[in-house]
């Protein structure tokens, strides 16, 4: 009779810090749901923390399941908002799109790696597309986009010194905060 300890039975699980993995998974899901924070920064963190294979799984999970959660959140949120802005020509055209048109548009927009995911998700949530159809289109489009993003970030991680990576990440966050603050002030005026 062979006796294995839990570590010997599944060596992969013992090598992964479970808490770190779960926290990064939650971060990926949150960023995927909101969709306006650049996910490439988290993809880099995923790869540097867990390697290319598990980092890719984290990024894919966050992008796919986060987009689905975001779809429901946007649909719920738009129902609670003043519908006046939905009367704009752009939004009325989106609302009149068929589910088939939205399906193919979501796939096309998801294939482009750096298109803001939140914009695609928010736009789709205003259309008659069903959640399962959105999930399928989003997943089909996200898989190649995430692989491209992973390849780019893997190259960045292995060619650019870490201090420059942190500086680039910090600069990106500062620019995003400045843009957000500027837009927020415009709305308040």
- pLDDT at site 139: 94
Residue 174 confidence (pLDDT): 87
Q: 32 and 64 in contact (C-beta within 8 Å)?
A: yes
- pLDDT for position 140: 95
Per-residue tens of pLDDT for the chain, all 189 residues: 444 444 444 455 456 688 888 888 898 898 888 877 778 778 888 898 888 999 999 999 998 999 999 999 988 887 777 666 667 777 777 778 888 898 999 999 988 866 788 888 988 988 889 999 999 999 999 999 889 989 998 988 888 887 887 787 788 888 878 887 888 777 776
Is-above-0.75 flag for pTM? Answer: no
Q: Quick one: pLDDT at residue 113?
A: 66
């Amino acid at each position: 009779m062979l006796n294995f300890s839990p570590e010997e039975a599944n060596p992969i699980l013992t090598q992964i810090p479970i808490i770190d993995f779960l926290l990064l998974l939650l971060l990926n899901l949150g960023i995927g749901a909101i969709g306006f924070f650049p996910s490439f920064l988290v993809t880099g963190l995923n790869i540097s923390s867990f390697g290319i294979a598990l980092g890719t799984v984290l990024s894919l999970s966050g992008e796919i399941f986060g987009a689905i959660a975001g779809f429901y959140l946007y649909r719920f949120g738009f129902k609670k908002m003043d519908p006046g802005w939905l009367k704009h020509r752009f939004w009325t055209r989106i609302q009149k799109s068929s589910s088939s048109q939205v399906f193919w548009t979501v796939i096309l927009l998801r294939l482009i790696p750096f298109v803001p995911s939140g914009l695609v998700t928010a736009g789709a949530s205003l259309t008659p597309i069903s959640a399962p159809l959105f999930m399928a289109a989003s997943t089909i489009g996200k898989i190649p986009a995430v692989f491209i993003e992973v390849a780019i970030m893997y190259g960045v991680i292995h060619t650019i010194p870490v201090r420059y990576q942190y500086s680039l990440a910090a600069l990106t966050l500062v620019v995003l905060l400045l843009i957000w603050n500027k837009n927020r002030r415009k709305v308040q005026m």
